[in-house]
Structure formats: structure tokens, C-alpha cells
Amino acid sequence: MDEKSSTAAVATDVSASPSQLKFPKQARILSKNHFRGVMRANQKRVGNALIVHYRMGKSRCPKLGLTVSKKYGNAVKRNRFKRLVREAFRKLTPELPPDLELNIQPRFPPKTITLKDVTYELSKFRATESC
């Protein structure tokens, strides 16, 4: 009985519109030169779970880049980390400055990082605060 009720709860959470669940190309850092530019800006914040390199760019919406090396763990662990960060970024995008460019790396090999941890660390970049 618990399986059915938890499955029903998951189904209702997924009922968001498809446009809210997307991570469009315009919100990504894709090129090697773009990644290098963010890294060369020499602005970073080190949190408990993340290292966030950032710069104020010229884009009209916040951009996200992810760098996760094999040292972090196997593909399952790396992909889980990336999914958590992308989800936190999607939730906070309306509150972030429009010209913010982020490149995020994990700080340590995985223990138990949660969406709440990632969201907390990214919330420090809200538009109301200066970077």
C-alpha cells in the first residue's frame, strides 16, 4: 500500500509544465573558451559541498557550467551530482542576477549531498546580494 501511495505522490509532483523542467542551451556554458573565461575571472566561493567559480558576464540570463572529474566517483555519482546542481539552478534562476555565469565543481568526493545543500549554497548568489 505504501508503494502505491508514494508512486501517486511522485506522479503528482511531475505534473509541472514541460517548460519549467527544461534546462535550455541559453542557460548553459558550453564552449571551452567560455569555461576558461569564468575560471580566469578569479572569483570563487568555496562552500561546504561546492566550489563555485563565477563572473558577471554579458548574457541576458544566468548561465551554468558543471565540471566533475572522475576523482569524484563513478558515472552514477557524477551524474547524480550534476542532476542536483541543475535542479537547484532551475529553482533559483528567477532570483539570480541576469548576467551571472557560474561554473560549479564538487568540493569533496560524495558523502551525502542533498538538493537542500546545493540550493543553500547557490542561494548566496541571489540578485538582492552583490557578488
Domains of the chain, CATH where assigned:
24-125 (3.30.230.10)
- Whole-number pLDDT of residue 14: 43
Judged by DSSP in three states, 103 sits in strand
pLDDT at position 59 is 81
Each of the 131 residues of the chain gets a pLDDT tens digit; together they read: 444 443 333 333 444 554 555 677 888 888 898 888 888 888 899 988 899 999 888 888 899 999 999 999 899 999 999 999 999 999 988 888 888 999 999 988 777 888 998 999 888 887 644 44
Burial 8-30 (b: 16+ CB within 10 A, else e): eeeeeeeeeeeeeeeeeeebebe
Q: Is residue 40 within a helix (H) or strand (E), and if so which, with residue range?
A: helix 32-40
Q: Identify the H or E element spanning 45.
A: strand 44-46
